[in-house]
Amino acid sequence: MLKKCGYVRVGAITPNLKVGNVSFNVKEIIKLIKEANNKGVQIVTLPELSLTGYTCNDLFHQDVLLDESLKGLELILKETSKLNIIAIIGMPISLDNQLFNVGVVINKGKILGMIPKTYIPNYSEFYEKRWFASSTNAISETVNILDEEVPFGINILFQDKENKSICFGVELCEDLWSVNPPSNEHALNGASMIFNLSASNEIIGKYEYRQNLVRMQSAKTISAYIYASSGVNESTTDVVFSGHSIIAENGTIIKESERFDFNSNMIITDIDINKLMNNRYKDISYMGIKPTLKYRKINIDIKDTNDNLLREYTPYPFVPSNEEIRNNRCYEIFNIQACGLAKRLKHTGIKKTVIGISGGLDSTLALLVIKEAYKKLDISNDNIIAVTMPGFGTTSRTYQNALNLINNMGATLKEINIKESCLKHFEDIGQDPNNYDITYENSQARERTQILMDIANKEGGLVIGTGDLSELALGWCTYNGDHMSMYAVNTSIPKTLVRYLVKWIADTHEDIKDTIYDILDTPISPELLPPDKKGNIRQKTENSVGPYILHDFFLYHFLRYGATLSKIYLIATKTFKDMYDAETIKKWLTFFLKRFFSQQFKRSCMPDGPKVGTISLSPRGDLRMPSDADVSIWLDDII
């Protein structure tokens, strides 16, 4: 199931070792490979020269050490021959009258290939050229090891026979630190994962630098980067190693080891190969430079597994969990919204804006954006024509909050009750006012939009839309009703983020804080159906369309990474296991996709609005989708 959904489980090991004691090191490596296999790891890497220890120095010129290394490799092959796991082990190898520092890729008792180090450090505390040659000095493309002819070179990738996107390359330590790492070519030739066998010592500041290096290389190559480094049991004659292992994916560190541990340690996670490939497909500049090396691809066999997914996903993918980062994000978004509107006003020479205020979150955010845009342009707030339009479903709570908000803003208030107009319209079209159907609801939405548009014509202003990204995704808006405006400032803000954004603004505006906090506590509703007997909101949106926390989660993974429904279902059931059962998640996931496809016609003619994040539904920008696409094959993936 995990492989079917595009996941590969990888690991990075820093073993306890004794410098020069190959027998001890081999036993520890065998134990750790078996442990990783038992945990479902499919590919694991160890540090540079992990069979001997990196710090053997001139002992690398001793035949006994080289001979013992080969014997150790032979024992590892024998002891792991029945395991499915692929392991990458560091050791010295002699070839073409030279010694090479190599990563040996093994599986089921066979050596799949050997990758030599290219960039040999010979500065400061490093003097590897005293023992090892660069891959550029190699003459042969194979090496005879343990009576096997094994592929040798940096132009080797290992590719799954079934899923060609599961493909990895190997580089060693300094290769990463160079101006042109081999992993660049690996990625261009199809490697979605890079494994690095390293021995990186610790000095002040190097920890952070190493983190950034691994993170950025994974971002540049749009790959997973699995980095294993030598630990504190290496020789400390001149330097100290910490055993810093890192697993990054497309610019994000998703797993990291504890440093300075004298015991063996291992980090494990699941790499999302499909997500990486989807990013590559979208990034048309990715293959802007043609590869220069001709690669050899070795077939591997990654077995699928039904193990539990290890990756953790936030239930709020649009909302950073860290408060400081979230506040910074809110600042950026709010300014993008305000500047987008300010530019439109400046370009048109229009100073007046018209907005419908319901006392709900979306219109509150849009009004705050207008106020900020006016501040940037030095326009008086009385040019904001804020219209409250009570209807059949308006409650005293939302009505009063709307009035308080408008008055506190210093905007120009217009109150227009739409009940009589709607009743006359019902009479004209033969609609029973006691029939609370879609006509009853949508007539109110269109009446409100007509009022706003006509006021804008009368005043020479722009109608500012309030609808958000989540509503657009579900098509939860009335066509040519709240669907339409002259500039829509919330168009790429998902519902789950609107709440945090409005709260962030409220906390910086003491004069309207109490009103906004009450709006934050009000259930989400279009208020198109009459209130209950106690005057409370009867029509709650999430009772009809499902929880927005789920829909925003579905939207993010479906559009951002092109995830299949089976994959979204897998990660959603794990992420929301304490909130919703599997059947509920499946129900709303199916609902989401059906609505997303069927409602595209509304998005095809949506008004202009600023993009603020990676996901936008604008037909002019991020989503060019036919309005009559058939959803069947997507639904077949889960139903």
pLDDT digits (tens, 9 = 90+) for 278-310: 999 988 888 888 888 899 999 999 988 877 889
Q: Which domains does the chain have, with CATH numbers?
A: 8-300 (3.60.110.10), 323-542 (3.40.50.620)
Chain-wide mean pLDDT for the chain? 92
pLDDT at 52 over 90: yes
Cα torsion angle, 49, 55, 56, 61, sign: positive
CA 412, 418, 421: angle at the middle one, nearest 5? 130
Cα–Cα dist 45/34, whole Å: 13
Nearest Cα to 70, choosing from 91, 53, 49, 99?
Answer: 91
pLDDT at 528 over 70: no
pLDDT at 155 over 60: yes
Q: Judge contact between 22 and 283, C-beta under 8 A.
A: no
Give residue 167's identity as a one-letter amino acid code: C
pLDDT digits (tens, 9 = 90+) for 446-473: 999 999 999 999 999 999 999 999 999 9
pLDDT digits (tens, 9 = 90+) for 405-417: 999 889 999 999 9
**Reduced DSSP (H G I as helix, E B as strand, rest coil) percent helix, strand, coil of the chain, to 5:** 40, 20, 40
Candidate from 188-202, 241-255, 296-310, 329-343 with smallest mean pLDDT? 296-310
Q: Judge contact between 190 and 159, C-beta under 8 A.
A: yes
Contacts of 217 (CB under 8 A, 6+ apart): 176, 181, 183, 194, 225, 248
pLDDT band at 535 (very low <50, low <70, confident <90, very high): low
Q: Tokens 């500041």: give the residue.
A: 205
pLDDT at 541 over 60: no
Cα–Cα dist 396/394, whole Å: 7
Is 173 in the active site?
yes
527 sits in the region (left: phi over 0; alpha: psi -120 to 50; else beta) called: left
The encoded tokens of residue 454 equal 């006509």
pLDDT more than 70, % of the chain: 96
Choice among 5, 56, 167, 173 that is catalytic = 173
Choice among 3, 117, 567, 602 that is catalytic = 117
Candidate from 142-156, 451-465, 541-555 with smallest mean pLDDT? 541-555
pLDDT band at 524 (very low <50, low <70, confident <90, very high): low
Output DSSP code: residue 104.
E
Residue 218 exposed, middle or buried by CB count within 10 Å (0-12, 13-18, 19+): buried
Looking only at the bridges linking them, the beta strands covering 296-300 and 156-160 are parallel
Instruction: Give the strands of the sheet with 110-116, arranged side by side.
Output: 110-116, 98-107, 86-95, 43-45, 7-14, 265-272
pLDDT at 604 over 50: yes
Q: Judge contact between 4 and 187, C-beta under 8 A.
A: no
Q: Judge contact between 26 and 53, C-beta under 8 A.
A: no
pLDDT digits (tens, 9 = 90+) for 470-507: 999 999 999 999 999 999 999 999 999 999 999 998 88
Distances (CA, A) of 365 to 374, 499, 590: 14, 9, 30
Helix (H, G, I), strand (E, B) or coil at 401: helix
Helix (H, G, I), strand (E, B) or coil at 227: strand
Q: Judge contact between 267 and 11, C-beta under 8 A.
A: yes
Helix (H, G, I), strand (E, B) or coil at 611: coil
pLDDT band at 516 (very low <50, low <70, confident <90, very high): confident
pLDDT band at 527 (very low <50, low <70, confident <90, very high): low
- pTM value is 0.88
CA dihedral angle for residue 213, residue 215, residue 218, residue 222, rounded to 10 degrees: -130
pLDDT at 539 over 50: no
Choice among 48, 128, 441, 527 that is catalytic = 48
pLDDT at 41: 95
Nearest Cα to 157, choosing from 14, 47, 293?
Answer: 293
Cα–Cα dist 213/215, whole Å: 5
pLDDT at 124 over 90: no
DSSP per-residue letters across 574-607:
HHTTTTS-HHHHHHHHHHHHHHHHHTHHHHTTPP
Candidate from 125-129, 139-143, 388-392, 613-617 with smallest mean pLDDT? 125-129
Candidate from 155-159, 274-278, 476-480, 538-542 with smallest mean pLDDT? 538-542
pLDDT at 397: 87
Is 351 in the active site?
no
pLDDT band at 333 (very low <50, low <70, confident <90, very high): very high
Mean pLDDT on 135-142? 94
Cα–Cα dist 490/471, whole Å: 10
pLDDT band at 38 (very low <50, low <70, confident <90, very high): very high
Is 249 in the active site?
no
pLDDT at 538: 52
